[in-house]
Structure 1
């Protein structure tokens, strides 16, 4: 599987990239410029203490989307629309995992407050903008700190929602290659608005408890 991390230069994108590289997937880190993407690749090499990582490369977001089979969107809410429009052609017919968090920090507010969107959820906004792409809400409740703590398994479930069953199967298989992570299918994409609201809750709990690794587990299910 060739996976593009669109806007993958922040903590969340880098963490997901590292985890998939460790799992043996071919990963492309995308950014607005290839130079910024290459800087992220070089940072990953430094973190993993490797001079070369054959299954990792850099590209502009549009090129990364065209080349990859699976896309992961890891940009702030303010950059979501412009980024999606820049990859629209390359993303057509593919699956996109949207990790966008609609937080009030996007408009200068608090990161522990949910920002209501006209579309209902950030992932639903992506689906509206990319009508030919299968959008899956994913990675919203796994902290960047947990992802970047790449020598340890992650004690957190990954809640997903989406309207395409085949895309959810692919997403589940790939995400569960990250040690410790179990995927919980929460139903259609409209459930994304519920999943995304868990993000500010977890951020607030982490701040209150002076940690960065608080996550969520769904118990009692036959997974």
Structure 2
């Protein structure tokens, strides 16, 4: 895996927790963050499964003890990971999104929570965006976590590319949405730790729906063209 860009000062001393870190998207993000030298805590419903995934990623990125090639990776249940992280990435299936966050509201208070969940449905015609009462998964998270700062990001990044150690550079931009400038800037810096990725401010949290829904279009593109498509913003 190619060398990651230097860490931004904003990320110094920050631990990244990934809830749902044993799933495809969460594992891929955890791999990239650890490869960049960030301490990572894998969260899962099963602490044993989280520990197993953490051990695998530690070996892959050389970060078992926070060595020169990667940050330390550990595993806990989702509650333990939420408590351990300074920046907490939510990468769980949509079906369990609300229940998980309701139960972790106290542990996530005062933290930056990065929601990358896409509410999608599948039928015989393919993939489509599901309606969400609050407007989007990110807005639902903001309602359920009133004492956290919620940012939407990483919705449109291929989990396959993220978790493939042979892919040195992930060719995509990440749209970052939120209502607090300092938090969106921080998450843009986090996106920039992944080689080839750039974080681009995409508007306030109320604009998260169309970004989440666009994943359905990308999945359709991938199926038709047998690709792992991404998004690039021009003239920025």
Bigger drift between 49-58 and 7-16 goes to 49-58
The CA distance in 2 between the partners of 1:50 and 1:130, in whole Å, is: 34
1:61-115 per-position Cα deviation (integer Å, ceiling 9, x unaligned): 111111210000000100101211232111101101101011014xx77762111
- Name structure 1 gaps, 5 residues minimum: none
For residues 124-163 of structure 1, the aligned pairs below 5 Å read 124-151=139-166, 152-163=168-179
Q: Provide the residue aligned with 1:52 in structure 2.
A: 64
Q: Provide the residue aligned with 1:206 in structure 2.
A: 222
- Name structure 2 gaps, 5 residues minimum: 1-13, 67-71
Q: Provide the residue aligned with 2:187 in structure 1.
A: 171
> Structure 1 residues 49 and 177, CA, compared in 2 at 3 Å: closer, same or farther?
closer
Segments of 4+ moved more than 4 angstroms: 108-111
Q: Provide the residue aligned with 1:15 in structure 2.
A: 28
1:112-159 per-position Cα deviation (integer Å, ceiling 9, x unaligned): 211111111010011011111111110001010111123411101001
1:26 matched to 2:50? no
The CA distance in 2 between the partners of 1:66 and 1:189, in whole Å, is: 24
Shift of 1:175: 1.2
> Structure 1 residues 17 and 109, CA, compared in 2 at 3 Å: closer, same or farther?
farther
SS at match of 2:105: helix
SS at match of 2:127: coil
Q: Provide the residue aligned with 1:6 in structure 2.
A: 19
1:89 matched to 2:101? no
> Structure 1 residues 51 and 26, CA, compared in 2 at 3 Å: closer, same or farther?
closer
The CA distance in 2 between the partners of 1:124 and 1:146, in whole Å, is: 27
Structure 1 contact 103–111 (Cα < 8 Å) conserved: no
1:140-198 per-position Cα deviation (integer Å, ceiling 9, x unaligned): 01010111123411101001110111111111111101000011101110010111111
The CA distance in 2 between the partners of 1:111 and 1:174, in whole Å, is: 32
Q: Provide the residue aligned with 1:197 in structure 2.
A: 213
Structure 2 contact 35–61 (Cα < 8 Å) conserved: no
Shift of 1:39: 2.0
1:219 matched to 2:234? yes
